[in-house]
Amino acid sequence: MGCQPQNVDRPRPNILFAIADDASFPHMGAYGTSWVNTPAFDRVAREGLLFMNAYTPNAKCAPSRACILTGRNSWQLEEACNHWPYFPEKFKTFAETLPQAGYMVGYTAKGWSPGIAKKNGEKRDLIGNPFNKFKTDPPAQFISNNDYAENFRDFLENKNKDQPFFFWYGSTEPHRAYEFGAGIKYGNKKTSDIDQVPEFWPDNDSVRTDILDYAFEIEYFDQHLARMISILEEKGLLENTLVVVTADNGMPFPKVKGQMYEMNNHLPLAMMWPEGIEDPGREITPFVNFIDFAPTFLELAGISEGESGMQPMTGRSLIPFLRNNYSGSDNEYRDHTLIGKERHDVGRPNDVGYPVRGIIKDHYLYVENFKPERWPAGNPETGYLNCDGSPTKSVILNQRRNGTAENFWQWSFGKRPDVELYKIDEDPYCINNLAGDESTRSIRERLRAQLYSELEQQDDPRILGKGEIFDQYPDASSAAGFYERFMQGENVTAGWVNESDFEPILKEKN
What pLDDT shows up at residue 138? 97
Q: Are 218 and 38 in contact (CB under 8 A)?
A: yes
- Are domains 14-328 and 337-464 of this chain identical in fold? no
What pLDDT shows up at residue 505? 42
CA 27 to chain centre: 14
**CA pair distance 35, 16, nearest whole angstrom:** 26
What pLDDT shows up at residue 217? 98
Kindly report the number of other CB atoms within 10 A of residue 381's CB atom: 8
What pLDDT shows up at residue 189? 98
What pLDDT shows up at residue 507? 42
Q: Are 114 and 62 in contact (CB under 8 A)?
A: yes
Pair type for strands 14-20 and 364-369: unpaired
Pair type for strands 14-20 and 54-55: unpaired
Positive or negative, the Cα torsion across 360, 361, 364, 370? negative
Name the 3-class secondary structure at 135: strand
3-state SS record for 194-244:
CCCCCCCCCCCHHHHHHHHHHHHHHHHHHHHHHHHHHHHHHCCCHHHEEEE
Name the 3-class secondary structure at 360: strand
Q: Are 54 and 72 in contact (CB under 8 A)?
A: no
Report, at the CATH architecture level, how domain 337-464 is classified: 2-Layer Sandwich (3.30)
What's the Cα-to-Cα distance from 254 to each of 217, 348, 358, 372, 492, rounded to whole Å?
Answer: 18, 18, 20, 18, 26
What pLDDT shows up at residue 385? 82
The single-letter DSSP state of residue 316 is B
What's the Cα-to-Cα distance from 294 to each of 173, 231, 298, 490, rounded to whole Å?
Answer: 24, 25, 6, 28
**CA pair distance 266, 190, nearest whole angstrom:** 26
Q: Are 76 and 314 in contact (CB under 8 A)?
A: yes
Kindly report the number of other CB atoms within 10 A of residue 306's CB atom: 11
What pLDDT shows up at residue 499? 42
What pLDDT shows up at residue 383? 85
The single-letter DSSP state of residue 454 is H
What pLDDT shows up at residue 347? 82
Q: Write phi, then psi, for 245 (nearest 5 degrees).
A: -130, 125
Q: Are 164 and 11 in contact (CB under 8 A)?
A: yes
Cβ-proximal residues to 278 (8 Å cutoff; 6+ apart), any chain: 322, 323, 324, 325
What pLDDT shows up at residue 329? 76
Report, at the CATH architecture level, how domain 14-328 is classified: 3-Layer(aba) Sandwich (3.40)
What pLDDT shows up at residue 486? 55
Domain ranges within the chain, ordered by starting residue: 14-328, 337-464, 479-509
Q: Write phi, then psi, for 375 (nearest 5 degrees).
A: -85, 125
Q: Are 333 and 347 in contact (CB under 8 A)?
A: no
**CA pair distance 376, 385, nearest whole angstrom:** 10
For each of the chain's 510 residues, which pLDDT tens digit applies?
A: 333 334 445 689 999 999 999 999 999 999 999 999 999 999 999 999 999 999 999 999 999 999 999 999 999 999 999 999 999 999 999 999 999 999 999 999 999 999 999 999 899 999 999 999 999 999 999 999 999 999 999 999 999 999 999 999 999 999 999 999 999 999 999 999 999 999 999 999 999 999 999 999 999 999 999 999 999 999 999 999 999 999 999 999 999 999 999 999 999 999 999 999 999 999 999 999 999 999 999 999 999 999 999 999 999 999 999 999 988 778 899 999 999 999 998 889 999 999 999 999 999 999 999 999 999 999 998 888 889 999 999 999 999 999 999 999 999 999 999 999 999 999 999 999 999 999 999 999 999 999 999 999 999 999 999 999 999 999 988 655 555 555 555 554 433 344 444 444 444 433
Q: Are 297 and 15 in contact (CB under 8 A)?
A: yes
